[in-house]
Structure 1
Amino acid sequence: MAGRLAGRTAVVTGGSTGIGQEIARRLAADGADIAVADVSPADETRELVTATGRRFFSDKVDVSDEDAITGFAARVRGELGFADILVNNAAVVLPADLDHVTYEAWRRTFAVNVDGPFLASKAFLPDLKRSGSGRIINITSSSYWTAPPPFVSYISAKGALNGLTSVLAANLAVHDITVNGVAAGLVRTAAAVENTDEAFFEQAVHIQDIKRVEMPHDVSGVVAFLASDDAAFITGQIVVADGGSTRR
């Protein structure tokens, strides 16, 4: 088997489309078998992964449901073996400023974007402890620092995810598990296009040092590095991949 992730199994939540799909494809290209948890079918992701020669498993899972994610972890073990890499990518974006955001939308955003990574990390912790090179990678957002007003619940949740990343890194280093985040900028995905407009992308490019729209592969390459042995001494970090719009 070729590739720097050969012999490893990676779990990607929210891997049926967008950034998650590209992360699954990239990790497979680097040699990992892939399991995807998503509320939507992952048939297209399956094709991309199996085209690399890697094994693939997916299931319909709401990551905010503890029983669902625990059951999914057991099924992954049965299909692909123990997981070595967990990418917490599943997220919802429900745009609204404080005047208009509902408590229901606020809670749903936190349930998926914060409770989901917490529950998945708990569910796959036995696997990651066994691995000897366990990796948790949380997909967060550089909007935490730029804070555009219409995304009050989303940005607040990403801030909480940054905190979870830090404390899990401190907790799990004793087990040789690294925990890092990747803070993406505005990435052109179907979901981003649905929730914004072209002027929003133009504004993002304007404040970036790199003058082009960010694409999913700009995120997946960073994830692949953090999942590899090359990043074995990096933990508790939020790696900002936003074209220089925050320059942190």
Structure 2
Amino acid sequence: MKIEAQNLTYSVRGKTLLSDVSFVVEPGETLALVGPNGSGKSTLMRLLAGLARPVSGKVVIAGHPVSHLSRRQIAQRIAIVEQHADTAERVTARSVVELGRTPWLSALRPWRAEDTRQVDKALQTVEMADMAHREWATLSGGERQRLHIARALAQQPGLLLLDEPTNHLDIHHQLSILSCVRILKVTTVMALHDLNQAMACDRVAVLSKGQLVSLGPPEQALSLETVSEVFGVKAQWGFSAGGTERFLSYHLD
């Protein structure tokens, strides 16, 4: 599913948080959003999800302006996992993931075997199937994060928005979730802090002070000059032990 950000500007109480941001994400593409804290990543994610309205500009998904879609129509197309997502305490892990099927249910379309299959698949994808009957209150922050991602996957969205999806996750599950996202046949936009995780995406968008300052393939968007200027660090390229993969290393000047 294709999504377009067209000249997005967003302000709160006279303070501009995002200024004239435009880009297109093609169907099946994975785009990483990177930038310092306060650069506008989370604001942009909420605009893409239709959770906030821009002061000017618009978001278009599969040819339809998001502002013209109902909440149900948006939920059938877009799933978002926010940085500070929350859930009621007295539910099971499986119940949380089942909520992802809500946009597809109605009086004329009750719960079916396909819904159960999608929930099972999502739980297996995030390696939480064996904890499906655990109560939410007993789960760690990392386990809860994996369930929020599973709920989004159970929605079967055309567009998946992930705001810091590796927050609270150990290294194994960071790599597992990112690997899963890469092989999904779904358009994905992820806000990330780790620049080397962003390197594994199809393209990278770099935000600074609410503006889009760089966009392109990872090694182009994350040029040493851009990383130095935006993040205030000294960056250099390194190579993996086998010499097959490049990575960024950085330190204070």
With the length of structure 1 as denominator, give the TM-score of the two structures.
0.33
Radius of gyration: which is bigger? 2
Q: More strand by proportion, 1 or 2? A: 2
- Higher normalized helix content (fraction of residues): 1
Q: Which has the higher contact order (CA 8 A, sep 6+)?
A: 2
